[in-house]
Structure 1
Amino acid sequence: MIERLLVTGGAGFLGSHLCDRLVDAGHDVLCVDNFFTGSRRNVAHLLRRSNFELMRHDVTFPLYVEVDRIFNLACPASPVHYQHDPVQTTKTSVHGAINMLGLAKRVKARILQASTSEVYGDPEQHPQTEAYWGRVNPIGLRSCYDEGKRCAETLFFDYHRQHRLDVKVARIFNTYGPRMQPDDGRVVSNFIMQALKGEDITIYGDGRQTRSFCYVDDLIGGLLALMDSPDGLTGPVNLGNPGEFTMLELAEKVLNLVGGRSRIAFHPLPQDDPRQRRPDITLARAELNWAPRVGLDDGLRETVDYFRRTWLDAA
């Protein structure tokens, strides 16, 4: 069935890939973005499609449109961007959630919240299951994002309980792929751009901290599966790749792909940087029949090719 779908943050890294899939499926897609971290170039190829519409709008202000489903992806997701204006980051998560939930309530739309593995903070449980409540510093440099997303989850479940709103909550773990910003401060884009430019590869701490990396195509498949799941599955549902790598291992993989003469340079670990992060995706496997398919080597190869084509000359 063809539906009218709203994607907030739709010109961003994840949002633009989601818009691609929805437009190709024949849905009418309204992409909303304030272009703080999103870019028109990410969706420029969709502007000629008759079932795609782009609107400049900030979700901290109400939006009055008629839609069947809402994907709420609006919020800067990298430390560089969300720490640039931490008050606005919290507003985007909290006021944005309130406004989108209010819209969903008015038009009786199903709404999906793009939450984050950052709700787990620096976890004491490893790997992290959805039942884990997290270990988050509420007054730290990362708390504008971590606590903003935690509050957004609270709002989603309160709207579900109080107003019987049809909600879905996805906890997204580290995701990478084409259309990442070259200067967004995320580890994959940092390592690739540094290697392409022959600069030192910057590793914070001793490099033994771990992350899990999910290729963007896999992640979008998980979001779509969750949105289409039965009413009883509200989430939260972890979406990510359970493969776990140290920062040193990731740096070595990037250097092997790019080549060159870059060396590894160690710097002090930032405040509240998690030591471990890996999703338990048992729930997603069982309820969504979803699991990532793209391995890190293959995904990095695609991502390096994208950065080389798109950003190297400009850099």
Structure 2
Amino acid sequence: MSRSYFSNRRVLVTGGAGFVGSHLVDRLLESGDEVLCVDNLFTGAKANIAHHLNHPRFEFMRHDICFPLFVEVDAIYNLACPASPIHYQHDPVQTTKVSVIGSINMLGLAKRIHVPILQASTSEVYGDPHQHPQTEAYWGNVNPIGLRSCYDEGKRCAETLFFDYHRQHSLNIKVARIFNTYGPRMHPADGRVVSNFIIQALRGDDITIYGDGSQTRSFCYVDDLVDGLIRLMNSPAGITGPINLGNPVEFTIRQLAEIVIEMTGARSKLIEHPLPSDDPMQRRPDISLARDKLDWQPHIALRDGLEKTVSYFRNLLD
């Protein structure tokens, strides 16, 4: 049964030691919630949550959600899954398992204890889109058998499961489609474009771009994203999503590299490499639904967010 008779909620965050998950844990504790952080530490790190280990309302459990979990909580944020190509392609079978079997286990838990559950889905469900910007009604253009398919199709299947549990069992679900997010605590070796560029610039290395750098991305600072996730979780039960959460301001990869070089004072040159397989050429969210249903939009400009992120990686390297 739900623990709603307690003054504070007890909230489960799977993947809570990861980049986004740890920032979500911060915010939930600040709001007065109890937090059960579950992570198998495949890509998460105890360092991301070390400042909470002695907190009276925080509990850490090392656990892989591909195996059932029996706990009593009031809400579940399901963020467990490697999210960078380097990590999710390292063990693609396990990546698919955590999206599918892990989701089944968390949905089963939510059904048993009658609590709302939020799925951290991804803009990768749109694949290499033919629609721009991407709206939630777009079904996507995804290669089902490519190198990225373990993540893209795993997340698509997770969304299917969430909506089937909602229709079949009247489960209170929330599905957020997360676009490119950046900020402190990104894994320094995750291969994502923001961390890659900053690390290379701070080390004085040349910056690697794929193709000619004309492909576009939209970059959302992690604090803005966490605000969107919490607003979605706390929204009325009728708001299930999927809802795009991301920054609609679009930059080319080349522009991002030039901004990072300027902000770090690096003398790095841009080195072009061939495009990876199935790499999307455009990525920008239509966030009309988030504005309308959640009264949410990002507020932190790219340069402001990059300043904090560069400072984090500078300290990490020092």
Identify the TM-score tier after normalising by the shorter chain.
over 0.9
Q: Paired residue for 2:47?
A: 41
Q: Paired residue for 1:292?
A: 298
Q: Secondary structure at the match of 1:138?
A: coil
1:234 aligned residue (227, 231, 240): 240
Paired with 2:251 and 2:267, the residues of 1 have a C-alpha distance of 23
Q: Secondary structure at the match of 1:71?
A: strand
Q: Paired residue for 2:280?
A: 274
Paired with 2:129 and 2:89, the residues of 1 have a C-alpha distance of 21
Aligned ranges for residues 150-189 of structure 1 at < 5 Å?
A: 150-189=156-195
Paired with 1:49 and 1:182, the residues of 2 have a C-alpha distance of 27
The answer to whether structure 1 residue 68 and structure 2 residue 58 are counterparts is: no
2:90 aligned residue (84, 88, 91): 84
The answer to whether structure 1 residue 213 and structure 2 residue 219 are counterparts is: yes
1:231, CA displacement in angstroms?
0.8
Paired with 1:218 and 1:198, the residues of 2 have a C-alpha distance of 30
1:24, CA displacement in angstroms?
1.1
1:54 aligned residue (35, 57, 60): 60
**Runs of 5+ unmatched residues, structure 1:** none
2:121 aligned residue (81, 96, 115): 115
Structure 1's consecutive aligned runs of 4 or more residues displaced over 6 angstroms after TM superposition are none
Given residue 231 of structure 1, which amino acid in structure 2 is its aligned partner? A
Q: Secondary structure at the match of 1:168?
A: strand
Q: Secondary structure at the match of 1:16?
A: helix
How many residues align? The count is: 312
**How large is the RMSD of aligned CA atoms in angstroms?**
0.5
**Runs of 5+ unmatched residues, structure 2:** 1-6
TM, length-normalised to structure 2: 0.98
Paired with 1:183 and 1:200, the residues of 2 have a C-alpha distance of 16
Q: Deviation digits for residues 108-141 of structure 1, max 9, x if unmatched?
A: 0100000000000000000000000000000000
Paired with 1:260 and 1:59, the residues of 2 have a C-alpha distance of 42
Q: Paired residue for 1:147?
A: 153
Q: Paired residue for 1:243?
A: 249
Q: Deviation digits for residues 207-266 of structure 1, max 9, x if unmatched?
A: 000000000000000000000001110000000000000000000000000012211000
Q: Paired residue for 2:12?
A: 6
The answer to whether structure 1 residue 262 and structure 2 residue 284 are counterparts is: no
TM, length-normalised to structure 1: 0.99
1:92, CA displacement in angstroms?
0.5
Q: Deviation digits for residues 53-98 of structure 1, max 9, x if unmatched?
A: 0000000000000011000000000000000000000000000000
Paired with 2:15 and 2:243, the residues of 1 have a C-alpha distance of 20
